Chain A
Amino acid sequence: MGDDKSLMERVRVREQQAMAEIFDRYAGLVYSVALRVLKDSGHAEDVTQEIFFQLWRNPDSFSSARGALATWLLVVARNRAIDHLRQRKPGEPVDEVVVASATNVHSETERGIMMQRVRGIIGDLPQEQQRSLQMAFFDGLSHSEIAEKIGQPLGTVKTRIRSALTSLRKRLEQ
């Protein structure tokens, strides 16, 4: 098994085996994110299949300049699942998604350990930040929808979401 970069190079020369290896490596992760958003295994599989098929059809939609393949797929999976949930056209072309992360999640071991760490950090955030982040990230609500739902001003919702994300980043960088 090669690393992600060499696998993507093989995908670019239409090597199906390499694409199957990428699917084996990350489809479970992508599916789990989509399932968390959509709460329906059939729709979550549709989103998963479509993301990997698009990558096969257009391998240049991803390049290492856009981040690590794992983190890029995580963001694309969440965004596509939200698009599916809201029954709207893709909000942003995948080849415009750039992800910068200092966190290494290349191996299963690293992903398993990081998952526990992130859960711990999110669990430590103030309840109102957790709730706003959850509504925006997993439920796909806009800031105005969240503000209406929790009865708080728009500015408060914005600040809570940004604070939750920057706190997570700072704790991960420690």
Chain B
Amino acid sequence: MTDAQHIAQDDLALYALQALSQDESAAMREHLSECDVCQAELARFRGDLAMVALSVDRHPLPSGARERFAQRIGFGSQATKLGEPVPIYREFRSSRAGWVGWAVAAALLIVAAGLGFEVRSLRARLLDKDGRIASLEASESRAKQVDELLTAPTAQRIVLTAPKTPPTPSGRVVYLASRGELMLQANNLAGAPVGKAYELWVIPADGSAPIPAGLFRPDAAGNGSLVLPPIPQGIKAKAFGVTLEDAAGSKTPTEPILLAGSVPENGE
């Protein structure tokens, strides 16, 4: 298993995977406790395993998981009751049949109370939806205004920077997932080499593959924009990124990521 000095690579990989027997692992642990070289190589294999783990499909946490954790660490009083099922019946045992009726009545009362709570909860959610729709309409109207501003032929573009400070590339995305509408304004980008173009990517919140959202080449001043590129509707995004790709575009993003930004949790 070990040569004169170090553990064989094959065995280190298996140790990292915890795929060895207890006896084999114990022998290795003893060597590892004294060998920096093998410890470093083991850490590299674990780095490889982290990448394998990263390849799994993403799934949302079960409902109430966050509240259960918050409750466990004593965080946030409002979290304490969220996610807990509402009891709609209770176990009842009695030697007297008369108690059964009372127990059923009590259970019905609990069910009724539960339904009342549900109705109030649904009303609150409807009000919340109304507010959200109004907010989206306001956002859309504003996006239209911004769109007109950015695409107006007579609009002037002025970049302000601190004197003698190299300008930092930046970008701003306005995204309306429900309509599949998006606008990007990027500034201070280096010119794209011949045969290359910048490409914007939508990173979906459900963990599926990044979606290409348009190619652009910045002008001489480093400014570039994308206005309403064709993208699918209803994609909830968790982030956006810009990479440099071949001018014809790419199916998957190529590193490095030149601009990146996460969607705020309360964003669409």
Which A residues from 1 to 34 make CB contacts under 8 A with B? 16-17, 19-20, 23-24, 27-29, 31-33
CB contact between B9 and one of A42, A78, A136, A162 (< 8 Å): that residue: A162
Task: Name the A residues within 8 Å of B60 (CB-CB).
Answer: 28
The complex places the Cα of A21 from the Cα of B55 at a distance, in Å, of 23
Binary flags per residue of A61-96, CB closer than 8 Å to B gives 1, else 0: 000000100111011011100100000000110000
CB contact between B73 and one of A19, A118, A159 (< 8 Å): that residue: A19
Task: Name the B residues within 8 Å of A110 (CB-CB).
Answer: 257, 260
Which B residues from 9 to 49 make CB contacts under 8 A with A? 9-14, 17-21, 25, 39-40, 42-49
In the complex the two chains form, is A28's CB within 8 Å of B203's CB? no
Looking at chain B's contact residues, the main secondary structure is mixed
Task: Name the B residues within 8 Å of A131 (CB-CB).
Answer: none
Task: Name the A residues within 8 Å of B40 (CB-CB).
Answer: 100
Task: Name the B residues within 8 Å of A74 (CB-CB).
Answer: 49-50, 53-54
In the complex the two chains form, is B252's CB within 8 Å of A99's CB? no
Task: Name the A residues within 8 Å of B25 (CB-CB).
Answer: 91
Q: How far is the CB of A158 from chain B (nearest CB, A)?
A: 4
B70: interface (CB < 8 Å): yes
Task: Name the A residues within 8 Å of B70 (CB-CB).
Answer: 16, 20, 23
Flag the segment in B61-69, B114-122, B144-152, B178-186 that touches A: B61-69
B139: interface (CB < 8 Å): no
Given A48-B61, A117-B252, A143-B14: A99 and B207 interface contact (C-beta under 8 Å): no
Given A74-B50, A99-B46, A107-B262: A32 and B74 interface contact (C-beta under 8 Å): no
CB contact between A49 and one of B57, B65, B262 (< 8 Å): that residue: B65
In the complex the two chains form, is B207's CB within 8 Å of A112's CB? yes
In the complex the two chains form, is A32's CB within 8 Å of B50's CB? no
Flag the segment in B97-105, B221-229, B233-241 that touches A: B233-241
B89: interface (CB < 8 Å): no
Name the CB-closest residue of A to B41.
Answer: A100
CB contact between B51 and one of A19, A31, A41, A101 (< 8 Å): that residue: A101
In the complex the two chains form, is A168's CB within 8 Å of B10's CB? no
Given A41-B62, A108-B262, A142-B21: A114 and B46 interface contact (C-beta under 8 Å): no
B158: interface (CB < 8 Å): no
A153: interface (CB < 8 Å): no
Task: Name the A residues within 8 Å of B204 (CB-CB).
Answer: 112
In the complex the two chains form, is B69's CB within 8 Å of A53's CB? yes
Q: How far is the CB of A62 from chain B (nearest CB, A)?
A: 14
Name the CB-closest residue of A to B55.
Answer: A118
In the complex the two chains form, is B45's CB within 8 Å of A165's CB? yes
In the complex the two chains form, is B203's CB within 8 Å of A75's CB? no
Chain A to chain B contacts (Cβ below 8 Å), 21 pairs: A19-B75, A29-B54, A48-B61, A52-B69, A74-B54, A75-B53, A98-B46, A99-B47, A100-B40, A108-B238, A113-B253, A115-B54, A115-B58, A118-B52, A136-B19, A158-B11, A158-B14, A161-B10, A165-B45, A165-B48, A166-B9
Chain B residues within CB distance 8 Å of chain A = 9-14, 17-21, 25, 39-40, 42-62, 65-66, 68-70, 72-76, 201, 203-204, 207, 209-210, 238-241, 252-253, 255, 257, 260-262, 265
